[in-house]
Structure 1
């Protein structure tokens, strides 16, 4: 199995485990009276499964994105980025100067 696929599967499993913990905490703390709604409804189990699955998709995506972005190499960190002054210092690139433009306006009101 390729390393990327194995990494994705492990991050999905971690995301769904986090989702299970999150839904468990929601039910335990009775947020928005969720425990009462789930236990006193005939389709409460389906609602919990859908909540777990939807949150699992979100948490899996976030978990995978954090893992992938954490693997980036920092080889271009030379401290030279983010300086706008380099654009105006060079004579080859002129600085942009706003120019006023007159626009004739005709009145549509009739007196």
Structure 2
């Protein structure tokens, strides 16, 4: 299996683990009375699974993006961009004919 695919699978597993911890914290701290809604509804377990899955997708994407961005080689020379002078345009009034309104 290519290294990039292994890296992606690893980051997805880490992202879903973070999502599980996040959803667990939401339920534990009863954010927006979520624990009561989940325990007193027939579809509560489905809601928790959907919440975990949706957050898992987001956290996996962020985890993978951070990992890929950290792999870049540092080519920082400390210059900070182009240092060219800003060209200044000549400020001259331009005559424009205007008709009088009546």
| TM-score interval (norm. to shorter) | 0.7 to 0.9
Q: Which residue of structure 2 lines up, in the alignment, with residue 50 of structure 1?
A: 50
SS at match of 1:61: helix
Between the two structures, name the one with larger relative contact order (CA 8 Å, sep ≥ 6). 2
- Number of residues of Structure 1 aligned to a counterpart in Structure 2: 101
TM-score by length of 2: 0.86
Q: Which residue of structure 2 lines up, in the alignment, with residue 71 of structure 1?
A: 71
Deviation at 1:105, TM superposition (A): 6.3
Distance (whole Å) between structure 1 residues aligned to residue 42 and residue 10 of structure 2 = 34
Deviation at 1:63, TM superposition (A): 0.3
SS at match of 1:87: coil
What stretches of structure 1 of length at least 5 have no aligned partner?
89-93
TM-score by length of 1: 0.79
Cα distance change of structure 1 residues 95 and 30 upon mapping to structure 2, 3 Å threshold:
same
Superposed CA RMSD in Å reads 2.3
Distance (whole Å) between structure 2 residues aligned to residue 11 and residue 60 of structure 1 = 6
Are 1:87 and 2:84 matched, yes or no?
Answer: yes
